[in-house]
Amino acid sequence: MLKSPQFKEEVLALFAERGAEAVDIPVIQPADPFLDMAGEDLRRRIFLTESETGKSLCLRPEFTIPVCLRHIELQPGTPRRYAYHGQVFRQRRDGGNEFYQAGIEDLGNMDMAAADAAAVKDAADTLAALLPGAQLITTLGDQTVFEAVVESLGLPDGWQTRLIRAFGDAGQLDALLGSLSKPSAPLPGLDGEVAALLSAGDEDGLAALLDKRMRASGLMSNASRTPAEIAARVFEKARLSSVHLDAKALDVLKTFLALDTPLADAPDALAAFARIAGLDIAAALTAFDDRVSALKKSGFSLDQSHYRAAFGRPLDYYTGLVFEHSTNGAVLAGGGRFDRLLTLLGAQTTIPAVGFSLWLDRIEAAQGGRSI
């Protein structure tokens, strides 16, 4: 187990040099924000409990959400940089459900390109201080560019949402692309009466039929959704099942997801892709180019960095930049931009945000067993 306070002090001192204020975050947290916003991968690994009043609680599974909640509660103004260090608790397949993380959350910096560059560089510089001589490999993705490509293909909002939620999950994306490549088909398992109402586009009629059946079966009293909500969902599923991408559009999306290039070459590669595909994604590409320029200006070396169009991280709240630093195949740090999160958590105004976390157990292993 990671124990040494000296290592904690070393990390927080490095963060303080970068203008980050250390904050303490309680181990016991309200569960709902994590269950609602962190993503399926994290949701199924959270340790849940309850308060005496029945409120759903959890052991702290990560720091970003509670740091944001603290900022909203205290309202200290922005811009603000926060540093944290402590245990997180997740069910892990490789054993060890308690481990340490440290990181920085950068809230309210309106120069988003500079803030992104600072997050990438600060994480790399901290790792360089803790692991002198280690060769770091940096992988960047950009959910904003992916969303722009998906939107440009003209898919219904429901399909866009599905694809965006699957960003970074290669298996799920492949499955969705497989569904989009198939001819439309009716929903399976519908009886004749429901199918007829669906075919006629009679959503109110379907809601009335479901209401009648639910009352007759006794389901109405404990149903979590109303007949109207269920009918709307059936019509939405039918609409989505009838959508498919033509071969050209599907090839455009697959070509984009296959992009993997040195970061220095990525702006030109993306511009060439957009031009050949005939896509208008200029705003997303301008923001991407600005970030690369800011990274160069910050002094961050692009030599061991590459952009992978399909690269994402398994947390639903990311909105733009996502990145990881690794060495010898082990991811030591990761982060990204989460501009919508604070508003979803209750902030009254939009607060741009970006941050990163260090995996201290992996850093310990990379140090060759030094006790931390």
pLDDT in tens, 215-266: 777 666 555 578 888 877 766 666 656 556 677 888 899 999 999 999 999 9
- How many domains in the chain? 2
317 is known to lie in a ligand binding site: yes
Does some domain include residue 124?
Answer: yes
Residue 101 labelled as part of a binding site: yes
Asked if the model's pLDDT at residue 79 lies above 80, the reply is: yes
Report in angstroms the alpha-carbon separations of 201 from 186, 188, 233, 271, 309: 13, 17, 13, 42, 39
Task: List the CATH number of the domain containing 126.
Answer: 3.30.930.10
On whether residue 295 sits in a domain, the answer given is: no
90 within some domain: yes
Which of 84, 63, 72 minimizes the C-alpha distance to 15? 84
What's the sign of the alpha-carbon dihedral 183, 187, 188, 194?
negative
Reply yes or no: is the peptide bond before residue 267 cis, omega within 30 of 0: no
Start-to-end C-alpha separation, the chain: 8
318 annotated as belonging to a binding site for a ligand = yes
C-alpha torsion sign, points 221, 226, 230, 233:
negative
Same domain, 140 and 59: yes
User: In the prediction, which pLDDT does 264 show?
Assistant: 97
d(CA 288, CA 141): 10
Q: Does residue 256 belong to any structural domain of this protein?
A: no
Residue 254 lies in a domain: no
Q: Which range of residues forms the domain containing residue 199?
A: 192-241
Tell me which DSSP letter residue 242 carries.
T
Establish whether 63 is an annotated binding residue: yes
Is 127 inside a domain boundary?
A: yes
Reported as half-sphere exposure (CB side, CA atoms, 13 A), residue 242 has a value of: 10
d(CA 36, CA 22): 27
Within-domain flag for 271: no
Per-residue pLDDT at 25 exceeds 90: yes
